[in-house]
Structure 1
């Protein structure tokens, strides 16, 4: 079975696992999904991620992070750029979710990165999703 939008599938799996307080979640591996997982780890939304080889494309296992009393760290993840409507932003037009407390994940020519890192490197790109 082929997926038309693996990024949306990844975000939906993370949202569903976080809402049901799962410890980890398995996602199909791809370069973009690995980049998004790296940004989520770098920004502190997940504890760690591993790539499990299965003889095909691999499985990405994310260890979700929760607060000290079991509260969710990821409250919402919204997909901005979709296959039917791509959203590109200049570095000056990147949004600041929750007044800087959330992050935007951007696919740039220098790789997938958060909006903070994109601002420091002064590069824009495709706005993949917003994490709050």
Structure 2
């Protein structure tokens, strides 16, 4: 049993991109689906699809790579869990601004739902900082 499904999903995405895999399978939850949706909107992954196998749901994530000569380089340089079950990290609306000079994204769980940092800043809401991607 997985205690932190967000950390598990982030680790699966990180490991799959390092290994150069095209697709990875994540355990389903609404918050993981919201995170994956943001990753797709921001261009870090190609696509995702929710599938059912028996009585369990999974999210199949198609990872995105850049062509660098003969090699393919993952678009995700780093994806990291920030707020953990043992240490929650919250940021106010003024503390959520740009990350990595606009090249990265922070995913925040707010009262308006799970949002990227730029949208949370625009809406003027803060919340729990789930993860960072660049």
Alpha carbons of 1:68 and 1:126: their partners in 2 closer, same or farther (altered >3 Å)?
Answer: same
Cα deviation per residue 1:41-62 (whole Å; 9 max; x = unaligned)? 0100001100001233400001
Which has the larger strand fraction?
2
Partners of 2:29 and 2:4 lie apart in 1 by 12
TM-score, with length taken from structure 1: 0.95
Aligned residue pairs total 131
Partners of 2:97 and 2:87 lie apart in 1 by 18
TM-score, with length taken from structure 2: 0.93
Check the 8 A contact 1:30/1:57 in 2, yes or no: no
Q: Which residue of 1 aligns with 2:96?
A: 94
Q: Secondary structure at the match of 2:3?
A: coil
Q: Counterparts of 1:13-92 in structure 2 under 5 Å?
A: 13-69=12-68, 70-92=72-94
Alpha carbons of 1:92 and 1:49: their partners in 2 closer, same or farther (altered >3 Å)?
Answer: same
Check the 8 A contact 1:80/1:127 in 2, yes or no: yes
Partners of 1:105 and 1:78 lie apart in 2 by 10
Check the 8 A contact 1:108/1:125 in 2, yes or no: yes
RMSD over aligned CA atoms reads 1.1
Unaligned runs of 5+ in 2: none
Q: Secondary structure at the match of 1:4?
A: coil
Unaligned runs of 5+ in 1: none
Q: Counterparts of 1:103-122 in structure 2 under 5 Å?
A: 103-122=105-124
